[in-house]
Amino acid sequence: MQLSELCQKVIAITKTTGAFIRAEAQSFDRSKIEHKGLNDLVSYVDKQAEEQLVKELQQILPEAGFITEEGTVTERGAEYNWIIDPLDGTTNFMHGLPLFSISIGLMQHSEIVLGVIYEVSHDECFYATKGGGAFCNDRPIHVSGVEKLSDSLIVTGYPYTDFGKTDTYLQILKAYMQQSHGVRRLGSAAIDLAYVAKGIFEGFFEFNLNSYDVAAGVILVREAGGYVSMFTDNNGDPVFDREIVASNGRVHGEMLQVIAQYW
């Protein structure tokens, strides 16, 4: 199966599960919240959404394994693995803030070759395949053309479970606040990356993320003409090594310079 054909099937699966999440959001009972750890929340919606996604993805690519946030399946594939966050922005969802998404990446060996991010509340579906460009609701998207950090809007995520580097993070945050048009925090790393790909934000940075938070977004940004790296732009893997900087490429060097002053 061609990647483009596979991607369309994933989009259809994602939208079906998105409809389930959207319906549950109308009457979600906060008493059903569970805690995986400090400020690390989960609900039956996360779990059921993941189960739905896994069941459907198994049918279209039976040989693939899975890396999932909720661990409903853990079997890894020899060549292909789906990397799934069934509800990225769970805290937003539970509080009724309409910014949450489904994120699905497909990894072939060690490379992400397909990514779909569905922003549920606003029915925006972002997708990309290796060498095929990036799209939102079937329209091509590209990173912004802004050349300087001083003209940029930056997005990030705040530490919420591991506060060991909070002081360092706040120094970086202060520097970006002073050297850009501002810093936003949406509460979904997948949406953050999709909006970099769409040209809304010039850059995104965060640490202590997981592969399922960023896998789909990494290929989206790259296929939209952007650049993704570790904090030090070394040979590490921003999907699995728990720190990421993504940008339109033009301001990437300046972003790394800011981080390097404190990290």
Is 40 marked within a binding site? no
Is 87 marked within a binding site? yes
Q: Give the max Cα distance, the chain.
A: 50
Closest C-alpha among 245, 192, 220, 218 to residue 136: 220
Is 85 marked within a binding site? yes
Closest C-alpha among 245, 235, 218, 248 to residue 111: 218
Is 241 marked within a binding site? no
As a whole number of angstroms, the distance between CA 190 and CA 206 comes to: 12
Is 193 marked within a binding site? no
Residues making up the binding site for Mg(2+)? 69, 85, 87-88, 213
Residues making up the binding site? 69, 85, 87-88, 213
